[in-house]
Amino acid sequence: RRFVYRKHSVAASMQPALAAVLAELAKPYMKENARVLDPFCGAGTLLVERRFLMPVRNLYGIDIFGEAVEKARANTKAAGMQANYINRDYFDFTHGYLFDEIITDMPVSAGNKEETDFLYRRFFEKSGELLADHGRVIMYSGEMGLVKKYLRLQESFRLLKEFCILEKRGMYLFVLEKKA
């Protein structure tokens, strides 16, 4: 019954139980009444689980896959919540105000290492533009090396915490903070 809101999914959708665990681990780093953005929202599961933990001011989900956005809208409505979903490429997204949190399950690149590296570089750059000072990035990723690389190269972020979630698959939850 806990996850009855999850009516729809796409192939890359995060399981609700995993989203709930990730959100709970990151809870001490979240801000109440935050403006929250998920740049690769899929079916909206991580945003819904974030909202279950504490009040938010606004929820925004972006995904390049239109079907995922429609499913996210339906899931969020089934959860009795309100969120703004946009069918767009994160790297083309602009907004009138900065966000307090970016929470996301990083996409797994089907391409080569260079494409994955490019994705992470662009993610750090774009997130730096959209995140308020002292804002947080809560990121689930299987690319520890790239996260650490761009923490070194993008001096605007610092690592607050990392959690090993699935050791065999190299999956981690990272909590980053944007420096002032």
Average pLDDT estimate for 140-148:
96
Contacts of 162 (CB under 8 A, 6+ apart): 144, 172, 173, 174, 175
- Full strand arrangement of the beta sheet holding 171-178: 84-87, 56-63, 34-38, 99-105, 131-141, 171-178, 157-166
CB 178 within 8 A of CB 131: yes
Q: Give backbone dihedrals phi and psi of 137, rounded to 5 degrees, phi first.
A: -115, 125
For the whole model, what pTM was predicted? 0.93
In the numeric block, the tokens 């399950």 are attached to: 105
Other beta carbons within 10 Å of 103? 28
Reported as a single tens digit per residue, the pLDDT across 1-51 is 779 888 888 777 899 999 999 999 999 999 999 999 999 999 999 999 999
